[in-house]
Structure 1
Amino acid sequence: MGRPSTKPKDLRDGYYIEVKSKTQKSGIKIRRDTRSQLLMAIDEYKENKEVIVLGKQENGKMKEIPELKVKP
């Protein structure tokens, strides 16, 4: 047994949103493969939770999706 890694884990390619309760400071990241799946997930969670669109992960870099800004 050695020390645990301190390097953050790389995210897989796809679309990411962060979902959290309105009273919490941090939430969970949810990944979807396609844009249509992302839109369905946003519609599902936005009724009860706060949804933040993080962007699209491609080749280790996060890109913004400006037309998908969700306001809480």
Structure 2
Amino acid sequence: MSGLNYVTQETLDQMRDELNKLKTTGRAEIARAIAEAREKGDLKENAEYDAAKEAQGYHEAKIAKLEAAVAT
């Protein structure tokens, strides 16, 4: 069985729009959250920083998944 998923042009356009938003405003928001958390001091015991870095990882994984889906 093939690993291809067929989507309509409308769905493909929506995926591309979401990918664009994630790469632009999404990344900027994450970077801002990380910067704010860094300003609060010691990174070893900074739960806000840990949460922002975790969100960044999730965000980048979602971007990679969408890029792969749009490319095929």
More helix by share: 2
Structure with the greater alpha carbon radius of gyration: 2
User: Scaled by the length of structure 2, what TM-score is found?
Assistant: 0.29
- Structure showing greater relative contact order (alpha-carbon pairs closer than 8 Å, 6 or more residues apart): 2
